[in-house]
């Protein structure tokens, strides 16, 4: 039986591939549990410095498997209750890990797949792919952190528009709205995501991890508390070998060489 989630490791980059193309990579409980069980250890795996999430076939991810939910032994609501529990574990890990996580959106990303893409740090989208919020057209409310990430990316008014009308969003539209970082030609999304990871990893990984954490925490922080977090982060980075190297390189007017330790 073929794995519904595949993990490929090369050049310090982990590629997590959703692999249920006949169902547009939609999650049932078994698949989302497998996904979370793969994502969580990547956060502390010292051999992994960046993560790419993508799909096989025509879809990135169509969210929750509605056929599975409708046939769940208890009820569809119970199915979503269990599904979202595992899904949220993975979303939290993506937001908390101090490594870049890039969604390579190879095809349609809808429902939970839309929210999963928004939870990633960056999004590369295939030129022919589309995004769709999806939940409200099926009488459901948005899940997977989408109600948190969406208005912070596009603003409240645009987020309400996406929630109310649920129109398919093209790659060009997504780029103009700030929903994605880059557009790639069809079949090139993973390669472009790999280039982005490599570019990020040329800089200080410690600096990136600290900055990601500070930016993520800023939404739940008072200004005074955030200033204190920034102070601690700056102290920690300046004390690290990367910080020392960066300051020396600035004084010596040369390009710094990071990540030696």
Whether the pLDDT of residue 1 is over 50: the answer is: no
The continuous run of DSSP H or E covering 111 comes out as none
Mean pLDDT across 90-105: 97
Mean pLDDT across 92-105: 97
Of 3.40.470.10, 3.90.226.10, 3.40.50.300, 3.60.20.10, which CATH number belongs to 5-201? 3.90.226.10
Q: Which of 145, 149, 201 is nearest to 178 (CA)?
A: 149
What's the confidence (pLDDT) of residue 220?
Answer: 87
Report pLDDT digits (tens) over 133-177: 999 999 999 999 999 999 999 999 999 999 999 999 999 999 999
Q: Please state the pTM of the whole predicted model.
A: 0.94
Report helix, strand or coil for 131. strand
Q: Which residues contact residue 230 at a Cβ distance below 8 angstroms, ignoring those fewer than 6 apart?
A: 214
Report pLDDT digits (tens) over 171-180: 999 999 999 9
Distance (Å, whole) CA 21 – CA 183:
22
Mean pLDDT across 202-222: 93
Given a contact cutoff of 8 angstroms between Cβ atoms, the answer to whether 113 and 61 are in contact is: yes
Distance (Å, whole) CA 120 – CA 99:
11
What's the confidence (pLDDT) of residue 112?
Answer: 97
Mean pLDDT across 231-248: 94
Q: Which of 125, 106, 96, 20 is nearest to 64 (CA)?
A: 20
The continuous run of DSSP H or E covering 108 comes out as strand 108-110
Whether the pLDDT of residue 44 is over 70: the answer is: yes
Strands (E), 19-98: 50-55, 59-61
Distance (Å, whole) CA 258 – CA 261:
8
Whether the pLDDT of residue 198 is over 60: the answer is: yes
How far is the CA of 227 from the CAs of 220, 224, 232, 236, in angstroms? 13, 5, 9, 14
What's the confidence (pLDDT) of residue 260?
Answer: 81
DSSP string, 137-189: GGT----TTHHHHHHHHH-HHHHHHHHHH---EEHHHHHHHTS-SEEE-TT-H
Neighbouring C-beta atoms of residue 248, cutoff 10 Å: 12
Given a contact cutoff of 8 angstroms between Cβ atoms, the answer to whether 121 and 212 are in contact is: yes
Mean pLDDT across 61-80: 94
């Amino acid at each position: 039986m073929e794995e519904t989630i595949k993990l490929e490791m090369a050049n310090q980059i982990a590629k997590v591939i959703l692999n249920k193309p006949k169902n547009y990579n939609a999650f049932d409980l078994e698949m989302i549990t497998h996904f979370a069980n793969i994502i969580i250890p990547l956060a502390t795996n010292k051999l992994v410095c960046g993560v790419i999430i993508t799909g096989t076939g025509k879809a990135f991810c169509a969210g929750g498997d509605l056929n599975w939910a409708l046939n769940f032994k208890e009820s569809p609501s119970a199915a979503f209750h269990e599904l979202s529990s595992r899904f949220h574990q993975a979303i939290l890990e993506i937001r908390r890990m101090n490594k870049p996580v890039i969604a390579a959106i190879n095809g349609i990303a809808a429902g939970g797949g839309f929210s999963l893409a928004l939870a990633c740090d960056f999004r590369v989208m295939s030129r022919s792919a589309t995004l769709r919020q999806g939940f409200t057209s099926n009488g459901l409310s948005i899940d997977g952190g989408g109600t948190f990430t969406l208005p912070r990316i596009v603003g409240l008014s645009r987020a309400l528009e996406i929630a109310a009308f649920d129109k398919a969003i093209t790659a060009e539209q997504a780029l103009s709205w700030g929903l994605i970082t880059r557009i790639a030609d069809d079949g090139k999304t993973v390669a472009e995501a790999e280039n982005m990871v490599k570019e990020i990893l040329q800089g200080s990984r410690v600096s990136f991890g600290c900055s990601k954490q500070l930016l993520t925490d800023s939404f739940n922080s008072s200004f005074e508390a955030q200033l204190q977090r920034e102070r601690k982060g700056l102290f920690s980075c300046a004390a690290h070998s990367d910080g020392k190297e960066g300051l020396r390189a600035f004084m010596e007017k040369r390009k710094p060489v990071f990540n030696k330790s």
